[in-house]
Chain A
Amino acid sequence: NAGVMQNPRHLVRRRGQEARLRCSPMKGHSHVYWYRQLPEEGLKFMVYLQKENIIDESGMPKERFSAEFPKEGPSILRIQQVVRGDSAAYFCASSSGGPNQPQHFGDGTRLSIL
Chain B
Amino acid sequence: DAKTTQPPSMDCAEGRAANLPCNHSTISGNEYVYWYRQIHSQGPQYIIHGLKNNETNEMASLIITEDRKSSTLILPHATLRDTAVYYCIVRSYGGATNKLIFGTGTLLAVQP
Residues of A within 8 A of B (CB): 4, 31, 33, 35, 37, 42-45, 48, 55-56, 58-59, 89, 91, 93, 95, 97, 99-100, 102-108
Contact = CB atoms under 8 A, between A and B. Distances in A.
B98 A102 contact: no
B100 interface: yes
A58 B103 CA distance: 17
Interface of B: 32, 34, 36, 38, 41-46, 49, 51, 93-94, 96-105
A48 B38 CA distance: 21
A37 to B, nearest CB: 8
A105 B44 contact: yes
A44 B42 contact: no
Nearest to B47: A102
Given A58-B97, A59-B99, A99-B93, A42 B43 contact: no
B14 to A, nearest CB: 26
A105 B102 contact: no
A45 B99 contact: yes
B101 A45 contact: yes
Residue among A48, A93, A97 having the largest count of chain B Cβ atoms under 10 Å: A93
A106 B43 contact: yes
Nearest to B41: A89
Contact of B96 (A55, A95, A106): A55
